[in-house]
Each structure stands twice: as C-alpha cells, then as structure tokens.
Structure 1
C-alpha cells in the first residue's frame, strides 16, 4: 500500500497478542495483516507485541515484520526497547521455581519454563536448570478441576501472578507482572498513556491489558470472558481480524 500522505491515526500504539490473534491457527501472518501493520507504522503508529511467548519463539515474528519497536514478552516479565536492546527482566526467585517445579513434575501433565538461556520442557529439565534464572513457568493439565486446584494452591503463596493462554494451562510470573504492566512501562518509555493504546487479544492473559487500554479489541475466536470485557470484537485470527481492527478503529476506514 502506497502512503501518499500522513493519515491521523486514532491511537498511537498497537499492542498485539500473537497466538490466536496476530497469528493464524497455522502460525502465519496473512499478507493483509502485514499490509495494515505496515500502513500503521508508515503513519507513525508504534506496533508492539504483548505476548506470553519469549524471545526464543517471538524473535522470528519480530524479524518477519521488520519492526524496530519495543516488545512485551513472557506476559510482561521481559521487556525490550527494540531488537537487541533489553530493557528489563523480572525473575521468579529460584527457591520458588523449585517449589513450582516439584508440583508440576508430580501433578501436571506437562510443564515448561522460559529462562534467559532457553525454553525448556519437562523432557529436557535437568538439575542444572535450578541454577538458571526463570521469568515464566507454565504447567499444562487436561483436567480442568485439577488445574484450578493447582492455581488456587499457588496463589495462596501470595507472591505469584497466574494466568492462562489456553484452558488447559497456567502461566506463572512474579505477582504484579502482566501484559498490562509491561505495556504501561513501554508507554512510559515512549511518553504515551494507556489511552493511546489499542490492544488486541483472545485469552485470559490479555484481560487486564484489554481493560486498561484506550481500546480493547477481542478476537471473534477469543474466550467468552475476553469478548465480554472488550470494547469491540473483530474477526477471527484466520479472517484478518487484526487487519480489520487496524483499518476500522485506527483509521476509520470501513
């Protein structure tokens, strides 16, 4: 799309969830979505990720879009000023990781963690892992009642933030660390306010951000709770929902 002149966008920052939002179910970004993200960038809008993914699985997407903007990764536990420019990491205390891991190994169906060095799942977990610093730990369980019990138990410790990106998992960070807290820090970095933000997402870990943003956009494929709290609902991730939202809500192009 050729931009002949600057268009006034209604918001100054787009915060995008990845899985189920920017990415299709085949983990691709459609050409239509790429076109409208570039249109936003060309018109002075910052486009950032606000994702549960870490750099290990988000960097390729960052590179694909050619974005030179901040990123909120690991549900806010890792913030980047731009490519190769780390701003902040918030680690779960090592003794807490030992407690979480013991529960995950005994009662979860699967588990994984994001450290500085790696994304590590159960089959690759070794005693050496306890000497690393972890920003996020995830536990998966097909039994929803069992998973809810694990969540309730860990929340009772009073030091953890627990959310989920799918009904069969829980994602654990330091208390107070969320996508919202991460995007707030990016806004401070850029001299913006949360009212300048349009945020898009589909899962529980997007809830606080969507409520705090100037405009919270839920994907049509999103969880019912997310759709109920969002300001607006766009099309699904497989139907260019992000592109439609940028066109309609940033640039008022029907």
Structure 2
C-alpha cells in the first residue's frame, strides 16, 4: 500500500503539457495510483468551467479543489463549499486593474469572464477568484504591493506576470485540508505536486511536496523533491518513484 493516501495535482504546468494536453504516460500513472487505492484530486487555480472537462477525461471519481481552494467538490456533481470574495473588494480590484491598464478575469459561479466581456452586471455576481495580468513586471509588482495592503483578500500568482486573488485565508492548502477531513486522513499522508507560487503553501504542508522541473525557483527551494518538467512526464515519474515506488522520505 502506498505511504501517501492522497495525491493532489496542479493542472497547468504540472499535469498538462504546454499545449494543455495530458500525455499517455501521465494518464497511465495517474490511473495506476487510483488502482493502488490512492485518492487522486486536482488542486488547481482553474474553475469547474475549465477543469471539468479534464476531470471527466481522467474519469476520476474523487473530490476536487478548484479556484485555488475557493471551491471544493466532494465528487462529480457534488459541490461541497464555496468561498466568495467580498463584492466591495471586487469593485476595488476592478478599479485597480483598470487604472493600471492590466488585463483581468474572474471565476464566478456562472462563468469565467475576461476583461472584454466584463459589464456592470458582473458586480452583482459572486466571485470565487479574480485575476490580473500585466506584461510590465514593474507594473505587476506595484499592483501586487498595493493588493497586499488589503486585509480582506489573499493574493498569490501562477506566473511572474499575474496576480490571483481569493478571499482572505483561502488557498490550495486550506482546500486540501478540507478534503483530508472528508477522507479521514492527515496532511502527512498527502503527496502534492505543483509548479508555481499558488502551490507554495500546499507543497510546504504536504507530507511530500514535489515541485516540477519547470517550476518557479522559489517553489523548488521549499519542495522536498524536484521532478522532471511537464514536457518530460514529470508527474508520471513522480508517481512512479515517490508514490508507488520504494522512496520513503523522513521529513525533518
């Protein structure tokens, strides 16, 4: 029986290749993990609008942690909980993005909405996540510093040129902890794999935190293991070696 009972996988830059595909090898080892009794879940910044098809493609009958922990599903079609950003914060975030000339998007219950489709009606919706993107690194850093002063929101990133915003206290780690409660296991029985800073808290908290070879340098520093890149079947190799293999780390 594998030492880790839960495998939490990021999607973009991790399970998915750069062209947003799942390789045959990755698919094979994910299914091998399931066959060995491991619960395999997503822990992704994506919402159900874009993660749902991948969930179906892999035919995983398991919980899912979506939109960086703001939405948790017990299983396919079984929503468990949602955590919304305050509407006043959404208005403020929208103002800051517009002022900075940043691209932006958001995940609501109804849709994934980008800047070009944003209307005043959007302010009456409940938003799980709001994101900003700017190719000017100085500008995105100024935005990041400004947002950090806002006490009611949680900010992270999945790339140096973006910012991802959730309700304060919500992250992939909190989502996976809730799934552990549901399954009756503890975080030291979790193996987590990711590539960027929105994975950082989860990678640190998991029994085994694995960073992708293509991952952020800061994430690699705090991870227990660095596997190959998403273009080199890094997830498949991590499952083979560390989840189903003989590797049994002792964390300090």
CA shift, 1:253, in A, is 6.0
Unaligned runs of 5+ in 2: 248-252
CA RMSD for the aligned pairs?
1.0
* CA distance, structure 2, for counterparts of residue 93 and residue 253 of structure 1: 46
1:106 matched residue in structure 2: 99
Change (3 A) 1:33 1:253: farther
TM-score, scaled to structure 1? 0.95
CA shift, 1:216, in A, is 0.3
1:172 matched residue in structure 2: 165
* SS class of match (2:164): strand
Equivalent residues of 1:247, 1:253 under 8 A apart: no
Please list, as runs of the form range in 1=range in 2, the aligned pairs for 1:78-93 lying within 5 A after superposition.
78-93=71-86
* CA distance, structure 2, for counterparts of residue 179 and residue 30 of structure 1: 24
Q: Deviations over 1:50-97 (max 9, x none)?
A: 000000000010000000100000000010001100000000111110
Question: Runs of 4+ in structure 1 displaced over 2 angstroms?
Answer: none
Of residues 193, 196, 199 in structure 2, which corresponds to 1:200? 193
Of residues 186, 199, 215 in structure 2, which corresponds to 1:222? 215
2:250 matched residue in structure 1: none
2:154 matched residue in structure 1: 161
Unaligned runs of 5+ in 1: 1-7
TM-score, scaled to structure 2? 0.96
* CA distance, structure 2, for counterparts of residue 85 and residue 101 of structure 1: 31
2:68 matched residue in structure 1: 75
Count of residue pairs brought into register by the alignment:
247
* SS class of match (2:169): coil
* CA distance, structure 1, for counterparts of residue 241 and residue 189 of structure 2: 16
Q: Deviations over 1:8-33 (max 9, x none)?
A: 11210000000000000110111111
Equivalent residues of 1:179, 1:205 under 8 A apart: yes
* CA distance, structure 2, for counterparts of residue 138 and residue 63 of structure 1: 25
Change (3 A) 1:119 1:178: same
1:30 matched residue in structure 2: 23
Equivalent residues of 1:33, 1:243 under 8 A apart: yes
